């Protein structure tokens, strides 16, 4: 049977399940990627699992998010991550090396491989003929420990590219066109696979731009073939031997079919405050701007900066416009310096920042109140820039550059100047030494984790008890979000590496007494909570399960669960059960004592079972929806213990 590239990648890594869209499959993971914002917890999880050394072919820990060091917390995390990388046999990329996705592409990505990363833009490396997917931190920790990754078999959405990009139109306009057509949920449950004669007209880094923002369509992944252009790219990186050809078979088919003629594209722009809010740049011409922002994983390439530099040469940024340049990798910045592009940008008035994610994730470069910011970044969700009422537009480097010169949104295709031709550096820089290589096992075992005062190991958690007699500490209503369970933000997030500290914020928004009441009985077997519909909606943060679990939460009894939080509850050993008769919710009150017996048995059987409200002398019927694997995880008291039993 003729296979497309996605199907080949999945077939070669399939551990279990059937390749039928929507069915759960398990895949071998060859490579992983973690960044610093999510990586500290992943490393603590590896420690808790007792992992000796990474089981993957290559795993890399990057430091690119939390580069602002206003106090000791971020630099302490960096030292911890470096020591953890050494301890667990990972590559380590120091602060200043750049954004994980382009650095991974330059140094480690390989056609034909799977890549799992604790960052939603991990999909960017699908540009290299890889199956690259973002996932939660614990999933990546398990992958590092050698466990397969479970995911629903996606539909493969074939996008046939024809034609060639006109002058002043670039890769960003390609993905903006897809967002214009399909909006931010158009890719859910799908892998977008690009093919056709137009692919050859896109350079590897242009494909990165397009693959990266597949995340904005909600896609599971984006896949480009590995062709001669990928060979050229790898050769340039001194990694020709890492190349292999990976193309769709003749006659391969796709679950969904679409065509996009590159020749017909025009400059596009996403208006505030959604990447799907795409219009033609023409429609906004004359809108005043405050900021033009170049860089990020959504436009990380040498050409993405060089084209701006060429357009700015001997010109000056408009008064009152901040031109923020965020290089994406040390190696690329070195080339931009050597080729004279950075000097041109500086002389035009650019603010040159260190290589990293920076303002793309709200770490600096916030715009002034109510002023328009044009960015080449992937996202413009409200407030993501750091400014509460921001006004962020997403566009190509060309559109951002010409608008910075004019002080207002300008369509680059209306310029009279010749479209600058960007030449590659004659001898591109290859920076091999600053991505530190893993230590061999015997050396790695000697490394001590460097834990600053704000970094605490994940405490041991016990296995599930067969019988529980626990009080209901909170009774909540419908639509409780993970923000209410454990807030995000600047007050809470600095404690991301410190479970005892961050747990103090658990349910604080709902009931300030929760922490003290939970603490008081944590040694007596813990407690339960009760809630209504859609419990745990919102952010996927794992701390919203881990922190209450640390305080003794053992059972969540609700009308129904939001999907991701439900998975997180299981992963951290909290039994998620639902009412068989939803009216039983009304029988329960804070302080009631629940008695659950024979739990090992009930969890194994996928049937409703009865629990007792001891103080009221009542029984109610509850049920669970755990898969066989999840039943196993519950038995061990969570995924860390479960993994520990396997490593």
Interface residues with a copy of itself (CB under 8 A) are 67-72, 74-76, 78-79, 82, 94-96, 290, 316, 319-320, 322, 330, 333-334, 337-338, 340, 342-343, 346-347, 349-355, 359, 362-369, 371, 386-388, 390, 429, 431, 433-434, 436, 452-453
The first and second tokens of residue 557, run together, are: 């009894």
The first and second tokens of residue 524, run together, are: 């007596």
Nearer to a copy of itself, 50 or 340 (CB): 340
Nearer to a copy of itself, 367 or 548 (CB): 367
Separation of alpha carbons 147 and 49, rounded Å: 12
Helices (H), 145-257: 171-182, 204-212, 228-236
Q: How far is the CB of 550 from a copy of itself (least distance, A)?
A: 23
The first and second tokens of residue 82, run together, are: 């470096």
Q: How far is the CB of 340 from a copy of itself (least distance, A)?
A: 8
User: Which uninterrupted H or E stretch holds 194?
Assistant: strand 190-195
| The residue to which tokens 């605490």 are assigned | 456
Q: How far is the CB of 272 from a copy of itself (least distance, A)?
A: 15
Q: How far is the CB of 228 from a copy of itself (least distance, A)?
A: 30
- Strand pairing report for 24-27 and 351-352: unpaired
Contact yes or no for 499/459 (Cβ under 8 A): yes
Nearer to a copy of itself, 68 or 625 (CB): 68
Nearer to a copy of itself, 77 or 147 (CB): 77
Helix (H, G, I), strand (E, B) or coil at 270: strand
Q: How far is the CB of 488 from a copy of itself (least distance, A)?
A: 15
Separation of alpha carbons 79 and 355, rounded Å: 18
Question: Which residue in 129, 128, 104 sits closest to 32, CA to CA?
Answer: 104
Q: How far is the CB of 427 from a copy of itself (least distance, A)?
A: 12
Nearer to a copy of itself, 197 or 370 (CB): 370
Nearer to a copy of itself, 3 or 79 (CB): 79
Q: How far is the CB of 144 from a copy of itself (least distance, A)?
A: 22
Nearer to a copy of itself, 173 or 339 (CB): 339
Q: What angle do CA 502, 508, 514 make, to 5 degrees?
A: 95
Q: How far is the CB of 338 from a copy of itself (least distance, A)?
A: 5
Nearer to a copy of itself, 98 or 129 (CB): 98
Q: What burial class does residue 599 get, using C-beta atoms within 10 Å of its C-beta: 0-12 exposed, 13-18 middle, 19+ buried?
A: buried
DSSP conformational letter for 574: -
> How many Å separate Cα 484 from the centre of its chain?
22
Contact yes or no for 402/410 (Cβ under 8 A): yes
């Amino acid at each position: 049977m003729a296979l497309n590239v996605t199907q080949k990648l999945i077939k070669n890594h399939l551990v279990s399940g059937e390749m039928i869209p929507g069915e759960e499959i398990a895949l071998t993971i060859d490579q992983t990627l973690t960044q610093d914002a999510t990586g500290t917890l992943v490393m603590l999880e590896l420690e808790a699992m007792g992992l000796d050394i990474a089981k993957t072919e290559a795993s890399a820990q990057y430091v690119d998010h939390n580069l602002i060091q206003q106090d000791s917390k971020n630099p302490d995390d960096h030292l911890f991550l470096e020591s953890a990388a050494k301890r667990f046999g990972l590559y380590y990329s120091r602060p200043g090396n750049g954004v994980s996705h382009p650095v991974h592409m330059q140094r480690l990505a390989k056609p034909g491989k799977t890549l799992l990363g604790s960052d939603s833009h991990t999909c960017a490396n699908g540009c290299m003929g890889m199956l690259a997917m973002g996932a939660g931190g614990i999933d990546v920790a398990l992958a590092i420990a050698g466990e397969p990754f479970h995911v629903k078999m996606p539909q493969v959405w074939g996008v046939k590219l024809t034609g060639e990009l006109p002058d002043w139109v670039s890769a960003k306009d390609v993905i903006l066109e897809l967002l214009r057509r399909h909006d931010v949920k158009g890719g859910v449950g799908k892998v977008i696979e690009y093919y056709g004669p137009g692919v050859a007209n896109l350079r590897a880094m242009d494909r990165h731009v397009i693959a990266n923002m597949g995340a904005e369509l909600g896609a599971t992944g984006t896949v480009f073939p590995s062709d001669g252009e990928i060979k050229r790219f790898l050769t340039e990186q001194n990694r020709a031997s890492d190349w292999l050809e990976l193309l769709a078979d003749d006659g391969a088919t796709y679950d969904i079919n679409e065509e996009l003629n590159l020749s017909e594209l025009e400059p596009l722009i996403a208006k505030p405050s959604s990447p799907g809010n795409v219009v033609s740049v023409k429609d906004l011409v004359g809108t005043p701007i405050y900021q033009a922002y170049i860089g990020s994983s959504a436009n990380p390439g040498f050409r993405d900066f060089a084209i701006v530099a060429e357009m700015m040469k001997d010109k000056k940024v408009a008064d009152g416009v901040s031109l923020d340049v965020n290089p994406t990798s040390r190696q690329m910045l070195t080339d931009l310096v050597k080729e004279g592009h950075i000097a041109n940008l500086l002389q035009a008035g650019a603010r040159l920042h260190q290589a990293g994610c920076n303002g793309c994730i709200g770490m600096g470069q916030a715009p002034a109140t109510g002023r328009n910011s044009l960015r080449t970044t992937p996202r413009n969700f409200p407030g993501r820039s750091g400014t509460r009422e921001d006004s962020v537009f997403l566009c190509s480097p060309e559109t951002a550059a010409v608008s910075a010169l004019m002080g207002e949104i300008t369509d680059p295709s209306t310029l009279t100047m010749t479209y600058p031709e960007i030449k590659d550096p004659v001898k591109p820089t290859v920076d091999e030494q600053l991505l530190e290589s893993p230590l061999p096992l015997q050396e790695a075992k000697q490394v001590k984790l460097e834990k600053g005062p704000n970094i605490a190991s994940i405490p041991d958690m016990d296995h599930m008890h067969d019988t529980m007699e626990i009080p209901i500490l909170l009774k909540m209503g419908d639509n409780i979000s993970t923000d209410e369970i454990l807030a995000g933000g600047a007050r809470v997030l600095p404690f991301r590496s410190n479970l005892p500290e961050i747990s103090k914020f658990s349910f604080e928004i709902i009931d300030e007494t929760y922490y003290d009441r939970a603490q008081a009985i944590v040694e007596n077997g813990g407690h339960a909570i009760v809630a209504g519909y859609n419990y745990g909606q919102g952010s996927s943060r794992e701390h919203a399960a881990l922190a209450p679990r640390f305080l003794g939460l053992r059972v969540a009894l609700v009308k129904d669960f939001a999907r991701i939080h439900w998975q997180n509850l299981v992963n951290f050993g909290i039994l998620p059960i639902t009412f068989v008769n939803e009216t039983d919710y009304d029988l329960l009150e804070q302080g009631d004592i629940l008695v659950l017996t024979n739990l090992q048995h009930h969890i194994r059987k996928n049937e409703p079972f009865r629990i007792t409200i001891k103080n009221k002398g009542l029984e109610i019927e509850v049920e669970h929806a755990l898969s066989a694997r999840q039943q196993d995880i519950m038995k061990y008291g969570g995924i860390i213990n479960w993994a520990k039993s396997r490593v």
